[in-house]
Amino acid sequence: MLAPEVKALLEFINSQPSFPMSDVTPAVLRESAKTVGGAVEPVFKVENSQITIAASDSEPGQSDPLRVRIYYPENAKANGGALLPAVLFYHGGGFVMCDLDSHDGMCRTLCNASQAVVVSVDYRLAPEAHFPAAPEDAYRSLLWLHQEAETLGVDANAISVCGDSAGGNLAAVLCLLTRDRRGPAIQKQLLLYPVTSPNCDTDSHHKFAEGYFLTREQMQWFWQHYLGDATDAKTPYVDLLEADLTDLPPAMIITAEYDPLSDEGRLYADNLKAAGNTVEHRCVPGQIHGFCSFSDYIPQGRDVLCSLFKS
């Protein structure tokens, strides 16, 4: 059963005018995703910075500056200079929309809950930058954070990755990339209702295809914009359900009961376990895709974010 506050939110969302995705442009969606007022949690300090290093020179745009926003928790104020753990965060938005501002509230909550330095990454978006731009930006951000760790007050051996939805895909893909490229070690992967496959054909995709905030049609549209004309949609850096998942960091995976992505998140958790990794999977009853972003309306969203750091 839908949680009462979720049901009320969906009634409002579903009462608004809707249009076929074929008539929607990325610009229109990005405008709709801009931050709407609401309470934000105070943290000790927030800094804006940029990454100028490149992961490689083989992919266009690799040397372009990449914006990041760094959140410091209260314990950074009085820790005597001790290095803190860090969480690299990748926002959701179907690889097409959202940015540092849209997920500012979530990052503040993560910062307070984890008492770690949270680094939110403004990776390149599709369709202006198709795959593999976003995962390469994710890898760049890991190299940069590891390289600059001491300057930033971060323990280079205690870096976790986190993301919601498409950002969950990027966080998980980053774990594959750093394993395959022998990059910096990742301590944990924390995935909130992650996108794990472009197929959009699980039972939950069909059962919750419409009326539950995220639709199956939207996911297909997002994938088309992200992949463009790419012929390698089955690469493990796109389709995580087709990947070799051995030797990966411990994972915490959160899915939502009424989410088209629920089954693919569960399948990814099952595949990680089958490959011998440490995995904790929790499907939150009564919730929809993106509920952690609606903490003003759905208090359980904040509770779930905080729970990521209690085990």
**86, 117 contact by CB (below 8 A):** yes
Three-state SS for the chain is CCCHHHHHHHHHHHHCCCCCHHHCCHHHHHHHCCCCCCCCCCCCEEEEEEECCCCCCCCCCCCCCEEEEEEECHHHCCCCCCCEEEEEEECCCCCCCCCCCCCHHHHHHHHHHHCCEEEEECCCCCCCCCCCHHHHHHHHHHHHHHHCHHHHCEEEEEEEEEEECHHHHHHHHHHHHHHHCCCCCCCCEEEECCCCCCCCCCHHHHHCCCCCCCCHHHHHHHHHHHHCCCCCCCCCCCCHHHCCCCCCCCEEEEEEEECCCHHHHHHHHHHHHHCCCCEEEEEEEEEECCHHHCCCCCCHHHHHHHHCCCC
Catalytic residue among 120, 141, 160, 165: 165
Catalytic residue among 263, 289, 293, 295: 289
Question: Is 155 considered catalytic here?
Answer: no
Question: Is 63 considered catalytic here?
Answer: no
Question: Is 165 considered catalytic here?
Answer: yes
Catalytic residue among 259, 263, 293, 295: 259
Distance CA 181, CA 176 (A): 8
Residues with active-site annotation: 165, 259, 289
